[in-house]
Chains A and B, each alone.
Chain A
Amino acid sequence: MSRAGVIAVVAATLAGALVVFVPHMRSRVVSDGTPVPQPLITLMLYPVPAHSAACMDSVAVEPGHQLALVDIRTQRLAPPLLFTVRGQSYSQTYRLPKGSISGPIVFPFQGPRRSQLTTVCIRNLDKGDVALVGTNEPRTLSRPRMTIGGAPADGEFSLAFRSANGESTFKLAGTVADRIAAFKPAFVQPWLVVVLLALVLVGSFAVPLLALWRSFVLDERQ
């Protein structure tokens, strides 16, 4: 291949890579877990009676400043709501004042020092009506069990955690490697994940192109 050809191909590949990958390098808000996802088809509403709470146990919470996302439905303006997350020697509460409308609401909280299994509750602090959006589909039901006013209830309210602030790709790399290595064999360590992905990133471009170049050389020799 001529030198001009090589330069043109490398330049085009770099330009294409910039266009394709730059949007993925921006700082962004990321998930800190989805204890119960939204239903896929059938939305369920779980009314929370006045002065009582809907709770879910076995909710894993990670360290860091986060937002808990819950979807509510209300006829008028929602009553004040108290969000609590309690684990072993760990507790956080956040009071959302009266006046929320139907739709997603967020409760900011600080995660524990180490990940732990907690109980998350949302308490209706007044007499107004409010219902939590959730799921009763077998496909989206998760591990946590829900109680309303202390009594077991069928289904679960949808709950997700998001990081409170945007995070850069480089800061995220370690977190992502830790997450990939979870629920894997012992030999899958975060460093191995980083090394493998770095090799794939470089190798995807370098190896086939070098192999192609070498093939042309071998063909010309013959």
Chain B
Amino acid sequence: LSAEPSRASGARASRARAVALHPLTALLVFAFLQAVAWTIVIPAFQAPDEDAHFAYVQQLVEHHRVPNTTNPGSPYSTDFIIASGWGNLEPTRGAPEARTAWTPAEEKAWQEQAKTLTQTERGNGLGGNPAAQNPPLYYVYSSVAYWLGLHTSSASFFTRLELMRLANVPLYLATILFTWLLAFEVLRRRWCATLAASVVALQPKFGYVAGGVSPDVALAAEWSAFIYVGVRIVSYGATWLRVLALAALGAAALLTQPRSAAVIPIALVLIALAPRERLRPVRVALLLGGVAVAAIAYLSVVTLPGWVKSPSTLHPAQFLSYLWQFYLPRLPGMAPMIGPPYGAATAWVNRFFGDFGWLEIPFSTSVYSALRWGSALLVVVLLAGLVVYRDAVRARWRVVLALVATVVLELLVLHYAAFESLLTNPGDPILTGRYLFPLISIWGLAIAAAVSVFPRVVRAPGAAAVLGAAAMLDVLAFVIVIERFYE
């Protein structure tokens, strides 16, 4: 009898040791430290649209209302304007030679002025906020950190902002976790899962965006989990639990950003690809009914973005031409592409990996050139892998098709939204690299899959070389961001 408890505690200790030594644990600890470092290194409001996102949350907490896009006046409270003035935050946005304030004299002056502020002055930014077109889920999540800071320790403006940024860390870690799970599910090798999760953890722009107040990191987490559950459905069948999880994650993505509209067709494709024995007509009917109810409920509470048009206003030929020229050179006889000369190389490479701040902090052109070649090589190797390992691909065709469909449908929705916007405002190409973060787990998986295409003897050094390059890029991002803001 006395041996039982000691055996149980021994098993617990063994399990704890296994968890501690698990590659994913080390990776998550590193990712945690890195995410915290980004939240500290980025000066206030020097991450994309962070000022608008902060103002949204401040309205939610201080005024108990969701802001709108049209109210007259400033969306920024007196609290915000005073902090921004002493911190030199607004003039620094996008101006490479400008610096945010850092002297103790300015900080002291701000603290003295901030002490005199009242609750009303924290909530008086009632003007139209461009972020108000987003549904409120992420902002409600972020407002917990703001509220806790305010009501537990009367946190200052910059402390509340830092707490909101730190609230992103679990979302960032969740993205890495689900990338690991997805890659392990698809490729069935720990090293592949570790490689996929590592490149996501070392993706510099993702770290940067996660370091600011932004719904993009929430989207990445929701989509990564959504894709993982979807692949489980495609692999093992559509159980109630999996379908509910898929629906909940899809709904969360929709309630975070209208850009997630693609989750609806993707969810339907994933369910349709599930093994047939699990797909009973009653379940399908219930599922489609549920999707319809959810879509109606969503449309009744969320203002549709401007790019949602009736089919009569579509321009299919022009859209296809735009799509072609976004990725490939213009063909003879093809009309010039709508909008500025802006294609995949800039949007999906430069801005996916770099162009930090408000796009004013680029990597060098040689780095971008290397990243473009690397991205092209990734596509070529994956295509070669599909041919070389065609038997294995055929055996898991549902999963491959599900992943491809996810990428294609999301890209189509993004391009369609951008195209519709270009029809009314040809100056703004809309698309930017962080819009791909919902697909970042598939990107990590693709890199791991590409390395696994190579012969066995090359895989380990190849994977290590990829990680070495990714680490260099990651550290270089910290270096250029620190040089830009603090030197």
Contacts and interface: CB of A to CB of B under 8 A. Distances in A.
Nearest to A163: B487
A143 interface: yes
A188 interface: yes
A97 interface: no
Contacts of B106: 60, 115, 117, 182
A80 interface: no
Contact of B190 (A21, A116, A207, A215): A215
Contacts of A114: 104-105
Contact of A172 (B29, B36, B104, B487): B487
Interface stretch (A42-50, A125-133, A193-201): A193-201
Interface residues of A, number: 69
Contacts of B99: 31, 33-34
A80 B471 CA distance: 53
Contacts of A172: 487
A71 B148 CA distance: 47
Contact of A196 (B33, B86, B109): B33
Interface string A94-126: 000000000000000000001111000000000
A17 interface: yes
A183 interface: yes
Contacts of A179: 102, 485-486
Interface stretch (B218-226, B298-306, B433-441, B458-466): B458-466
A153 interface: no
Interface residues of B, number: 75
Interface string B460-487: 1101110111111011101100110111
A165 interface: no
Contacts of A209: 464, 467-468, 471
B110 interface: yes
A150 interface: no
B472 A16 contact: yes
Interface string B203-242: 0000000000000000000000000000000000000000
B106 to A, nearest CB: 5
A21 B472 CA distance: 9
B11 interface: no
Contact of B109 (A28, A117, A140): A117
Interface string B179-209: 0000000000111011100100110000000
A70 to B, nearest CB: 13
Contacts of A89: none
B92 interface: yes
Contact of B162 (A117, A188, A216): A188
A77 interface: no
A34 B98 contact: yes
A196 B37 contact: yes
B94 interface: yes
20 contacts: A5-B464, A16-B472, A31-B97, A31-B487, A37-B92, A40-B95, A60-B101, A114-B105, A115-B103, A117-B109, A139-B90, A140-B91, A160-B97, A180-B482, A183-B107, A199-B37, A208-B467, A211-B24, A211-B27, A218-B23
Given A185-B163, A207-B26, A216-B191, 11 more contacts: A5-B460, A6-B464, A13-B469, A21-B476, A179-B486, A185-B158, A196-B40, A199-B33, A205-B471, A212-B194, A218-B190
Q: Sorted from nearest, which 8 A-B pairs have the closest CB atoms?
A: A13-B468, A37-B98, A211-B23, A1-B460, A115-B103, A208-B198, A215-B190, A179-B102
Interface of A: 1, 5-6, 8-9, 12-13, 16-17, 20-21, 24, 28, 30-31, 33-38, 40, 60-62, 114-117, 139-143, 160, 172, 175-176, 178-186, 188, 192-193, 196-197, 199-201, 203-205, 207-212, 214-216, 218-219
